[in-house]
Structure 1
Amino acid sequence: MKAGSGHAPKASAGSAFHGSITRGTTNPNRLRRVDNWMRATLGGLLRRAPDPLVVDLGYGASPVTTVELRARLGVRVIGLEIDPERVASAQPFADPPELEFRRGGFELAGLRPTLVRAFNVLRQYDESEVDGAWAAMTATGAILVEGTCDELGRIASWVTVSPEGPQTLTLAARLSTLDAPATLAERLPKSLIHHNVPGEPVHAFLSTLDNAWRDAAPLSTFGPRQRWRRAVEATKAAGWPVLDRPARWRLGELTVRYAAVAP
Structure 2
Amino acid sequence: MATKKPIGTITRGTTNPNRLRRIDRFIAAMPLLRKTAAPIVVDLGFGASPITAIELLARLTKVNSNAHVVGIEIDRERVERGLAVAHSHLHFTHGGFETPLPPELSQKADVIRAFNVLRQYDESEVRAAWQLMASRLSTIGRLVEGTCDEIGRLASWVTLDSNGPLTFTISLRLQGLELPSKVAERLPKALIHHNLPGEKIYDFLQALDRAWLINAGLSAFSPAQRWLATCQTLETQGWQIHTDKKRRRLGELTIDWSAVAPEGF
TM-score w.r.t. structure 1 length?
0.91
Q: Distance in 1 between matches of 2:136 and 2:14?
A: 29
1:54-203 aligned within 5 A: 54-74=41-61, 75-95=67-87, 97-109=88-100, 111-141=107-137, 142-203=141-202
Residue type of the alignment partner of 2:10: I
Q: In 2, are the aligned partners of 1:173 and 1:252 still within 8 Å (CA)? A: yes
28, 31, 37: which is aligned to 2:20?
31
Q: Per the alignment, do residues 204 and 91 of structure 1 end up closer, same or farther by CA in structure 2, a change over 3 Å counting?
A: same
Q: In 2, are the aligned partners of 1:17 and 1:109 still within 8 Å (CA)? A: no
CA RMSD of aligned residues (A): 1.2
Larger RCO: Structure 1 or Structure 2 (Cα < 8 Å, ≥ 6 residues apart)?
A: 1
Give 3-state SS (helix, strand or coil) of 1:251's partner: coil
Per the TM alignment, residue 51 of structure 1 is displaced from its structure 2 partner at its CA by: 3.6
Per the TM alignment, residue 46 of structure 1 is displaced from its structure 2 partner at its CA by: 2.3
Q: Distance in 2 between matches of 1:47 and 1:227?
A: 32
Residues 1:212 and 2:204 aligned together: no
Per the TM alignment, residue 15 of structure 1 is displaced from its structure 2 partner at its CA by: 4.8
Cα shift readout 1:24-51 (whole Å, capped 9, x = no counterpart): 01110000011011111x1x21232244
Q: Distance in 1 between matches of 2:124 and 2:26?
A: 28
Aligned residues: 247
TM-score w.r.t. structure 2 length?
0.90
Q: Distance in 2 between matches of 1:154 and 1:166?
A: 24
Give the fraction of aligned pairs with identical amino acids, expressed as a percent.
53
Give 3-state SS (helix, strand or coil) of 1:108's partner: coil
Structure 2: which 5+ runs fail to align? 62-66, 102-106
Structure 1: which 5+ runs fail to align? 1-13
Between 245-254 and 25-34, the greater mean CA deviation after superposition: 245-254
